[in-house]
Chain A
Amino acid sequence: MQSFMPIIIATASVAVIGLLIGLLLIVVGNKFKVEVDERVAAVRECLPGNNCGGCGFAGCDALAEAIAAGKAPVNACPVGGAPVGEKVGRIMGVTAEEKERLIAFVRCSGDCETVARRSNYVGIRDCASAVGSGLNPWACDHGCLGLGTCAAVCPFGAIKVDKGVAHVDRDKCMACGKCVAACPKHLIELVPESAQYAVQCASRDRGPAVKKVCSAGCIGCKLCTKQCEFEAITVENNIAHIDYSKCTGCGKCAEKCPAKIIRSKAERM
């Protein structure tokens, strides 16, 4: 009998201490409770989780918080696009506004066959470095350098440099906008998926100067503006630009373009 006593005492004292600590935890837990919006976690579940920052917030967690707090629209995630916007909208109890998918577009098609060479750049393989050094591998001052800074920052592997010019894979691009910010030549823009035609050149030089260095450059001849019945295309600073909201995709401008740099979706691939 005597030999069991210490065991009983130990068990009882641990049980009592456990009970006391448990009670203390309940009290403290109630007192210092942090209100958490359940919707944050639910919204976060729906987001893709790439943490690419394309929405303008510091990753998916930050965006989920902003959406739950009403500081960002439910379809703010450019990567998830409409399906994610719809799901998040259901959680938040609002319907997502119609938002078209955007796709990155490189406004240059000058590759090693069309653009003349200027200098032999051997420094750091990065476009910003090349711009800083003043050495442009190509004779055109405005075009793609082809050193692949955009491809390096793309979290989705959607950009490839081929023959000295960057190409965007339309299926893989999630329009996070990282390449847009990274390009030191400001050549990449986000265009609506439905945009039929786009001008694949960014040279602001005058016609003769463009012709001298590149066979795929906009010479600012304005033939396209005369063709367009919808006033969707304008030429400013010797470069044509299409207003995608006005463009109906008739393709007359592309037909007439002497340099063939107004390109349809299929040609842009």
Chain B
Amino acid sequence: MSNKTFRGGVHPEGHKEISKTQPVEVFLPKGDMVYPLNQHIGKPAKPVVKKGDKVLAGQLIAEADGFVSANIVSSCSGTVKAIEERYVASGAKAMSIVIDNDGEFTLAPGIGEERDPEGLSNEEILDAIQMAGIVGMGGAGFPARVKLAPKDPDSIEYIIANGSECEPYITCDDQLMQKEAHAIVGAIKLLMQLFPNAVGVVAIEDNKPDAIATMQGVCNNEKGISVLPVKAKYPEGGERSLIGVVTGRQLRFGQLPAELGCVVCNVSTLNAIYRAACKNEPLMERLFTVSGDAVANPRTMSVKIGTSCAELLEAAGGIKAGCEAAKVLSGGPMMGIAMPSLDVPVCKNNNAMTVMSKDEVELAEKKMTACIRCGRCGHVCPLGLVPQMMAEAAERGDYERYEKKLYGLDCIACGTCTYICPAKRPLMQLFKQTKAAIMAAKRR
């Protein structure tokens, strides 16, 4: 019997084998560390250090400014060099704290103190998450403290650990599940304490048999936590598709997961939650995949937040000999965004960088032609939207139709429509831009 899945979706080539066979090593950066203040959704954090201050690894350097915001913690020891605008992976400039790394990684006092997970109260768990500055590490960057404090905690029935990792090339969640299965399950148990009526489900795509076996081994002894292998298909890991697959409940347009009694967390986020609550370790590092057909030694590394992508590419052997790199993406090839420079830091919600060779990019950048109304985009959209009509409305500037009639604001920008389009229309870019324009007009 084939595993459960959602309606729509595509099957891009995975290319995961090239990095997942390599062991995960800890990478210690040598250069300056950059911490953008807006590594999360919501208000940028407020710096609490100033130029010239000495900081230790694990020390708070910027605090949450308001409810929907997150703390930022230094991942190295050294001196604050500047608080200035720096480029981030999106190509924009963001206010960032730059720390001159002394290479010692001296920990601040109290970091790494073991705590008994059994004896923690709900407030202590939430405070630890807040202090550690944990955000959704699967990509969205939504502050975890806010997500885990819904109006009615008793109404939550499912805690879904998202280990589907459907994006091609990326293997960091796969390798994390094999390495830190106990921590992930430990975090699910902490969340089950917050949401007493919930069961835990670890959803993993069936192309990761090792991760499924490891997680199953740990979950067997735990009451109320199960592993659910799901069909390998893109975008299985999208929150909305995954809720449908796991619970059979379908989120309506504009509905939030909590309204259907679900909380979805990426496995990296769960690992960070466990470390924050039980080891008093704030969010300083994460697993990060450097892959792509132009990389010499594609691999997943345990990297400090704030490390420059240039250093990481070097650590992965740099560009393959005889290969011309044409595009560097922050993230994978489906949802990733092209980086304007390698000199950008790894943020909390970045899970990979993909370096693509000229051949592969040329393959993807065929000339755009007119829409032939084949309807394939609507067929594969995991949300059941009609990208063809959305594009028409967006191009005409009919934002009202885009939003109210076509529910275009619910688009998750997964890129499935762009992938399948035989006319090579840049649909995802158009939708992202239209969404941004509508949101900007609403704020005004």
A interface list, Cβ under 8 A from B: 118-120, 122-124, 128-129, 132-136, 141
The answer to whether residues A132 and B436 also contact, given A123-B426, A124-B426, A141-B93 and a CB cut-off of 8 A, is yes
The answer to whether B91 touches A135 (Cβ under 8 A) is: yes
Rounded to whole angstroms, the CA-CA distance of A141 and B92 in the bound complex is: 9
Give A26 Cβ to nearest chain B Cβ, in Å.
45
Contacts of A124 in B (CB 8 A): 426, 429-430, 433
The answer to whether A128 touches B90 (Cβ under 8 A) is: no
The answer to whether B429 touches A129 (Cβ under 8 A) is: yes
Rounded to whole angstroms, the CA-CA distance of A122 and B363 in the bound complex is: 13
> Counting CB contacts under 8 A, is B337 at the interface?
yes
Q: List 27 A-B contacts (CB under 8 A).
A: A118-B340, A118-B341, A119-B91, A119-B338, A120-B326, A123-B426, A123-B429, A124-B429, A124-B430, A124-B433, A128-B433, A128-B437, A129-B429, A132-B433, A133-B91, A133-B337, A133-B338, A133-B429, A133-B432, A133-B433, A134-B92, A134-B338, A135-B91, A135-B338, A136-B91, A136-B340, A141-B93
Give A115 Cβ to nearest chain B Cβ, in Å.
15
Contacts of A118 in B (CB 8 A): 340-341
Rounded to whole angstroms, the CA-CA distance of A131 and B337 in the bound complex is: 13
Contacts of B92 in A (CB 8 A): 134
Give B16 Cβ to nearest chain A Cβ, in Å.
26
Q: Which of B337, B338, B341 has the most CB of A within 10 A?
A: B338
The answer to whether B429 touches A132 (Cβ under 8 A) is: yes
Contacts of B340 in A (CB 8 A): 118-119, 134-136
The answer to whether residues A132 and B432 also contact, given A119-B340, A122-B365 and a CB cut-off of 8 A, is yes
Contacts of B93 in A (CB 8 A): 141
Query: Which residue of chain A has the shortest Cβ distance to B327 in the bound complex?
Result: A120
Rounded to whole angstroms, the CA-CA distance of A229 and B364 in the bound complex is: 58
List the 4 shortest-distance A-B pairs measured between CB atoms, nearest first: A134-B91, A132-B433, A134-B90, A123-B429
Contacts of A129 in B (CB 8 A): 429-430, 433
Contacts of B341 in A (CB 8 A): 118
Rounded to whole angstroms, the CA-CA distance of A141 and B87 in the bound complex is: 11
Give A15 Cβ to nearest chain B Cβ, in Å.
55
Rounded to whole angstroms, the CA-CA distance of A120 and B340 in the bound complex is: 9
Q: Which of B39-81 contact A (CB under 8 A)?
A: none
Query: Which residue of chain B has the shortest Cβ distance to A128 in the bound complex?
Result: B433
Rounded to whole angstroms, the CA-CA distance of A239 and B338 in the bound complex is: 30
Give A41 Cβ to nearest chain B Cβ, in Å.
32
Give A145 Cβ to nearest chain B Cβ, in Å.
12
Query: Which residue of chain A has the shortest Cβ distance to B340 in the bound complex?
Result: A119
Rounded to whole angstroms, the CA-CA distance of A252 and B429 in the bound complex is: 47
- Name the interface size band of chain B: 10 to 19
Query: Which residue of chain A has the shortest Cβ distance to B337 in the bound complex?
Result: A134
Query: Interface SS of chain A: helix, strand, loop or mixed?
Result: loop
Give B46 Cβ to nearest chain A Cβ, in Å.
24
Contacts of B432 in A (CB 8 A): 132-133
Rounded to whole angstroms, the CA-CA distance of A128 and B337 in the bound complex is: 16
Q: A119-B338, A133-B433 are in contact. List 8 more A-B contacts (CB 8 A).
A: A132-B429, A132-B432, A132-B433, A132-B436, A133-B91, A134-B337, A135-B91, A136-B91
Rounded to whole angstroms, the CA-CA distance of A118 and B91 in the bound complex is: 11
Rounded to whole angstroms, the CA-CA distance of A136 and B339 in the bound complex is: 10
Contacts of A122 in B (CB 8 A): 365
Q: Which of B87-113 contact A (CB under 8 A)?
A: 90-93
Query: Which residue of chain A has the shortest Cβ distance to B430 in the bound complex?
Result: A124
Rounded to whole angstroms, the CA-CA distance of A119 and B361 in the bound complex is: 14
Query: Which residue of chain B has the shortest Cβ distance to A126 in the bound complex?
Result: B433
Give B325 Cβ to nearest chain A Cβ, in Å.
12
Rounded to whole angstroms, the CA-CA distance of A63 and B415 in the bound complex is: 45
Contacts of B430 in A (CB 8 A): 124, 129
Q: Which of B91, B341, B426, B432 has the most CB of A within 10 A?
A: B91
Give B320 Cβ to nearest chain A Cβ, in Å.
20
Rounded to whole angstroms, the CA-CA distance of A135 and B89 in the bound complex is: 10
Contacts of A135 in B (CB 8 A): 91, 338, 340
Rounded to whole angstroms, the CA-CA distance of A124 and B418 in the bound complex is: 13
Rounded to whole angstroms, the CA-CA distance of A118 and B340 in the bound complex is: 7
Contacts of A123 in B (CB 8 A): 426, 429
Contacts of A128 in B (CB 8 A): 433, 437
Query: Which residue of chain A has the shortest Cβ distance to B328 in the bound complex?
Result: A119
Q: Which of B391-444 contact A (CB under 8 A)?
A: 426, 429-430, 432-433, 436-437
Rounded to whole angstroms, the CA-CA distance of A128 and B436 in the bound complex is: 11
Rounded to whole angstroms, the CA-CA distance of A124 and B431 in the bound complex is: 11
Give B236 Cβ to nearest chain A Cβ, in Å.
26
Query: Which residue of chain B has the shortest Cβ distance to A139 in the bound complex?
Result: B340
Q: Which of B336-367 contact A (CB under 8 A)?
A: 337-338, 340-341, 365
Give A126 Cβ to nearest chain B Cβ, in Å.
8
Give B130 Cβ to nearest chain A Cβ, in Å.
30
Query: Which residue of chain A has the shortest Cβ distance to B88 in the bound complex?
Result: A134
Query: Which residue of chain A has the shortest Cβ distance to B435 in the bound complex?
Result: A132
Give A167 Cβ to nearest chain B Cβ, in Å.
26
Give B342 Cβ to nearest chain A Cβ, in Å.
12
Rounded to whole angstroms, the CA-CA distance of A207 and B437 in the bound complex is: 33
Contacts of A136 in B (CB 8 A): 91, 340
Give A194 Cβ to nearest chain B Cβ, in Å.
35
Rounded to whole angstroms, the CA-CA distance of A123 and B368 in the bound complex is: 10
Give A247 Cβ to nearest chain B Cβ, in Å.
32
Rounded to whole angstroms, the CA-CA distance of A135 and B329 in the bound complex is: 12
Contacts of A141 in B (CB 8 A): 93
